[in-house]
Chain A
């Protein structure tokens, strides 16, 4: 992936690589100033002047062991092939749409976890934070309160944000380890969630139903018509292409570092292809014999928009940049005048807020909210989705958008195991294996980066 490899939280003593020192005298020309090994850390689009050089830079990265997402893609293919061989229904349009919807939950949970992972922290509580958020939303929009759906969602997300603020404040103000505080939150918020469920007399047996006419229900269970879907896709791709090219042109005119046009076109093309594949899968009839169901479930574009907003925030606003800075080198951030505690607390608030969105999708997917929500498993999936997507547990490295890849991998495993009808015991064990495998990959990448 294009993000730089951080060497972690401890700043390396400068000049440990004598090989790179040879080319640094000022009279040297720039081209030979760095050894190939050091250039591996640089995103290909920064160095390349055209598409050919871009691929060459990619090749160099891969040859030097900086394989990026390739192992994850390879893993995904193996998983898909395995489940397809086991259950021929795996790669049907019906199951794939179901898988995508499941993936949206893991993707949003993954994004929630990435905010704190980038800070080199962890949040183990977001499973039940999401549960609390979902209960608040479902109770407020149902009788007897009957708030409008949007107000219910705002209240639910505000509630989860407060939980994040409390945990973040404990961690930063008292200097407590996030692992312990959020482990406490994991249990404590489970209790809070049960209380919130009990508070509603209409929640029979800890289950509260969502009115099928409510947008909260329709979010997952209704779809855009196929025609509308294609129109949206064409408009989005056209806007994205125009925006990218104009921006690229402007930057070039100002003499700023600009990725080659070919690379910009390539990314537009990949978005277009991805959108078309999604549309083709979602356009097939996935209803039972009598009723025809097709189109893209609303939740998919909603989640993509949420990820886009978060990505924009992380890349273009100060708090986003400061999260990366703190994750890599908190001391440098502090000396640069960044309010480290405030930004860290904000990271936990963002994480809990995003978990609230995940809770909303979870409830919508169930059509009801129940105290059966497995917050522990969801947290493990969240961490796994983040780490599989390339976010480092050691802070400072990763991107929100990569939760997309991580979430889809986790959804494939979860969905495939569901099709095979494995027991809960096996499901838990596989969950653990996926998480450990992802973390191992992260640790190996990090070790190689440090060794270099």
Chain B
């Protein structure tokens, strides 16, 4: 079963002619004797949603921390739009257009939605923050992402539901012109309705041509939203491919044993 039909019609098509947006080649990272990542090869095609799944300790966090520039790899290469890049910190990753949304969302509860979306990047006019420009841009971005449930764009983030907070974090990423958005367990701790809201948001995001990597434990969510699945097992990439090559059974087997018992494709 494929989920590509769920994309809104007329959305900008990913330009996959010029290869994947991000490619990892033989990426390795170890801590003393512990091999967190070993020779991981992974392509993230432009504009697609790739779900990164794996058991606890499989290396999911190590992978996103490396890609987001927090950790530097011990070996291997990171190719961005086909060019080799070195990420010396989160700033480097951000400059390329890689935004990582961690589970804590990094929002300030006392600031309102607009203030959170522009935090650290406020446009200035006569030494003052240009609230008008900020509010208009924030409103437009939320509208583009079909986030319509917030009562007021000026309400503090403390008053938002979990799904709405996730939406604000995503909108913040979109605002910063992110090309790749990495989301760490975006639906963990969310109820059914809010999970649905976040999954819709991910689809909208990829419909707009943004590449998304979702780390998730929840296979329901993965099959609902992902175009591709990559499975990590004990720091190695067990398998990666279009979601149509997997079913629930094989995905679980890859996660638990690193190989599929019966051929799924």
Report which A residues bind B (CB closer than 8 A).
3-8, 11-18, 20-26, 28, 30-31, 33-34, 38-43, 46-47, 251, 254-257, 316-318, 321-322, 324-325, 327-329, 331-333, 335-338, 396-397, 449
> Which of B91, B105, B122, B154 lies in contact with A11, CB distance below 8 A?
B105
Q: A26-B149, A316-B129 are in contact. Are A338 and B119 (CB under 8 A)?
A: yes
> Which of A13, A47, A325 lies in contact with B108, CB distance below 8 A?
A325
B-chain residues with CB within 8 Å of residue A18 when the two chains form the complex: 191
Q: A24-B163, A337-B91 are in contact. Are A256 and B131 (CB under 8 A)?
A: yes
Q: How far is the CA of A436 from the CA of B99 in the complex (A)?
A: 44
Closest B residue by C-beta to A31: B151
In the assembled complex, how far is the CB of residue B198 from the closest CB belonging to chain A, in whole angstroms? Answer: 9
Q: How far is the CA of A8 from the CA of B191 in the complex (A)?
A: 24
Q: How far is the CA of A316 from the CA of B164 in the complex (A)?
A: 26
The answer to whether A337 and B120 touch across the interface, beta carbons within 8 angstroms, is yes
Closest B residue by C-beta to A332: B106
A-chain residues with CB within 8 Å of residue B136 when the two chains form the complex: 254-256
B-chain residues with CB within 8 Å of residue A6 when the two chains form the complex: 109-110, 158
The answer to whether B129 and A24 touch across the interface, beta carbons within 8 angstroms, is no
The answer to whether B109 and A11 touch across the interface, beta carbons within 8 angstroms, is yes
In the assembled complex, how far is the CB of residue A26 from the closest CB belonging to chain B, in whole angstroms? Answer: 6
In the assembled complex, how far is the CB of residue A117 from the closest CB belonging to chain B, in whole angstroms? Answer: 13
Decide if the interface of chain A is mainly helix, strand, loop or mixed: loop
Q: How far is the CA of A396 from the CA of B154 in the complex (A)?
A: 17
For window 110-125 of B, CB contacts with A under 8 Å fall at 110-112, 115, 119-122, 124
The answer to whether A328 and B161 touch across the interface, beta carbons within 8 angstroms, is no
- Whether B208 sits at the interface, judged by CB under 8 Å, is no
The answer to whether A13 and B189 touch across the interface, beta carbons within 8 angstroms, is yes
Q: How far is the CA of A38 from the CA of B121 in the complex (A)?
A: 28
- Whether B107 sits at the interface, judged by CB under 8 Å, is yes
In the assembled complex, how far is the CB of residue A333 from the closest CB belonging to chain B, in whole angstroms? Answer: 7
The answer to whether A317 and B128 touch across the interface, beta carbons within 8 angstroms, is yes
B-chain residues with CB within 8 Å of residue A327 when the two chains form the complex: 110
B-chain residues with CB within 8 Å of residue A5 when the two chains form the complex: 110, 156, 158
Closest A residue by C-beta to B104: A11
The answer to whether B129 and A47 touch across the interface, beta carbons within 8 angstroms, is no
The answer to whether B110 and A4 touch across the interface, beta carbons within 8 angstroms, is yes
- Whether B165 sits at the interface, judged by CB under 8 Å, is yes
Query: What are 21 A-B pairs with beta-carbon distances under 8 A?
Result: A5-B156, A11-B109, A14-B162, A16-B189, A21-B191, A21-B192, A23-B149, A26-B197, A30-B150, A33-B149, A38-B160, A41-B155, A43-B156, A257-B135, A316-B128, A321-B122, A327-B110, A328-B111, A332-B108, A396-B109, A449-B158
Q: How far is the CA of A98 from the CA of B32 in the complex (A)?
A: 70
In the assembled complex, how far is the CB of residue B75 from the closest CB belonging to chain A, in whole angstroms? Answer: 27
> Which of B94, B107, B146, B151 lies in contact with A33, CB distance below 8 A?
B151
